[in-house]
Amino acid sequence: MNIAIQGVCDPAFAPVRDAFAANFERFPELGAAVSAVARGRVVVDLWAGFRDAARTAPWGRDTLVNVYSVTKGAVALCAHALIERGALDPDAPVAAAWPEFAAAGKERVRVGQLLDHSAGLPAIRAELGPGALFDWQAMTGALAAEAPFWEPGARHGYHAITFGFLVGELIRRASGRSVGAFLREAVAAPLGLDFHIGIGEEHDAQVAEVQPTIVSPDGLGGAFGASFRDPTSLTSLAFTRPRDLASPDLVNTVRFRRAEIPAVNGHANARALARMYGALASGGALDGERVLSPEAVERALTERSRGLDAVLLAESRFSLGFMLPSALRPFGRGARTFGHPGAGGALGFADPDAGLGFGYTPNQPIASGAGGDPRWVPLLDAVYACL
């Protein structure tokens, strides 16, 4: 397949361009973009392929795509901005800002436990009605009433969908704005990012169609796969409640794009991810615009949860809101790397020791098991070899 690679690439990073082109030959890539910021400078900003399965709409410089759980990293950054302003306190009870949350024995759950996935609220037991996923009050009300699945702080488990509503509600109460609005004002506008949680119709022409997921041989294997296939398991509940998540072609619907579902429905391009994490890799500022202090960046990357994940059923690691590299999802090479991958292969992270911000955004999801998306490996090998 002869794919034209578009964009700019510093000559010193030419191997990244070669690796990106090779991915279209080696893997079932349809359209994608990759970007890297090194020591505050954009060194890679490339895109190729198509926005649609019919291959009639070329991927462009400003193409956006749903990045799934990469969205959690942007939500975490918003929370850290409010922590730095003194509007949120990771050690304070959630109920101090959200009184209804104290129900069902949660009066001592801390803000930091929502961020590091140890709060014990990775799912909602009740079967909510149709449309609940798009109803902020329905989701936050159900979570406020929910009892923890384990003693908060005693263990951790990936809050795949609930993270966005839990942390997003704290952002709303602390800032007076929805998480999407706060992201625009505090992060996207200062850094010039095309990153949206709840995307307006004016951007519809930029959005790539997400294709049906290709499951790799190990994608739903092992303990996770067996648990996911059991509809009564915590793993299954965490990823399938509310039932709107099973709607056909959900991610390509207008309703999904317009809603704010802050764990999974951010729309961005690789450039936005690389610039956002490029700022965090450079002490919290890029091009003279500061989003966090160096001290806040250190707080953001410090490990808080580690060990067997109660939902993913594998070893995982989290800081306050960011995922940290592990055998399950390896990304970056530095000991202080932090960021977030997304279902299907999207990835954004910062490596402060290397001064690197990285973003990758495909529209052909691949469900992979331990080891992460196979398309990451050649791209990251090339980036690090060029630093």
Q: What is the pLDDT of residues 254-274, one digit of tens each?
A: 999 999 999 999 999 999 999
Residue 368 lies in a domain: no
Q: Rounded to whole angstroms, how far apart are CA atoms 65 and 9? A: 21
Residue 379 lies in a domain: no
Q: Rounded to whole angstroms, how far apart are CA atoms 90 and 79? A: 9
Residue 306 lies in a domain: yes
Residue with tokens 């991915």: 23
- What are the pLDDT digits (tens) for 316-325? 999 999 999 9
Residue 67 structure tokens: 């990045």
Say how many domains are in the chain.
Answer: 1
Q: Determine contact, residues 197/262, Cβ cutoff 8 Å.
A: yes
Residue ranges of the alpha helices (H) in the chain?
A: 14-26, 70-85, 94-97, 111-115, 136-145, 162-175, 179-183, 189-191, 222-228, 234-240, 254-258, 270-280, 294-301, 376-386
Burial, 377: exposed, middle or buried (Cβ in 10 Å; 0-12, 13-18, 19+)?
middle
Q: What is the pLDDT of residue 221?
A: 76
pTM passes above 0.95: yes
Q: Rounded to whole angstroms, how far apart are CA atoms 65 and 364? A: 10
Q: Rounded to whole angstroms, how far apart are CA atoms 188 and 41? A: 18
Bond before 99 cis per omega within 30 degrees: no
Residue 317 lies in a domain: yes
Nearest alpha-carbon partner for 78 in 346, 352, 263: 263
User: Which CATH number does the domain housing residue 324 bear?
Assistant: 3.40.710.10
pLDDT > 80? residue 219:
no
Q: What is the pLDDT of residue 368?
A: 86
Beta-strand relationship, 305-308 and 356-362:
unpaired
**DSSP string for residues in 132-182:** GGG-HHHHHHHHHHPPPSS-TTS-----TTHHHHHHHHHHHHHHSS-HHHH
- What are the pLDDT digits (tens) for 314-366? 999 999 999 999 999 999 999 999 999 999 899 999 999 999 999 999 999 99
Residue 5 lies in a domain: no
Residue 26 lies in a domain: no
**Confidence class of residue 1 from pLDDT cuts 50, 70 and 90?**
low
Share of the chain above pLDDT 70, in %: 99
pLDDT > 90? residue 240:
yes
Q: What is the pLDDT of residue 287?
A: 97
Q: What is the pLDDT of residue 369?
A: 83
Share of the chain above pLDDT 90, in %: 95
Residues annotated as part of the active site: 69
Burial, 288: exposed, middle or buried (Cβ in 10 Å; 0-12, 13-18, 19+)?
exposed
Q: What is the pLDDT of residue 220?
A: 73
**Confidence class of residue 250 from pLDDT cuts 50, 70 and 90?**
very high
Q: Which helix (H) or strand (E) holds 38?
A: strand 31-38
Mean pLDDT, rounded, for 190-197 = 98
Angle separating helix axes 376-386 and 14-26, nearest 10 degrees = 170
Angle at 371 between CA 236 and CA 330, to 5 degrees: 105
Q: What is the pLDDT of residue 34?
A: 99
Residue 198 lies in a domain: yes
For the CA atoms of the chain, what is the radius of gyration? 19
Tell me the residue range of the domain where 126 lies.
Answer: 61-328
- What are the pLDDT digits (tens) for 127-147? 999 999 999 999 999 999 999
Residue 76, SS3 per DSSP: helix
pLDDT > 90? residue 216:
no
Give the 3-state secondary structure percentages of the chain, helix then strand then coil, rounded to 5.
40, 20, 45
Residues facing 42 on adjacent strands: 37
Q: Determine contact, residues 220/367, Cβ cutoff 8 Å.
A: yes
Residue 269 lies in a domain: yes
Mean pLDDT, rounded, for 71-78 = 98
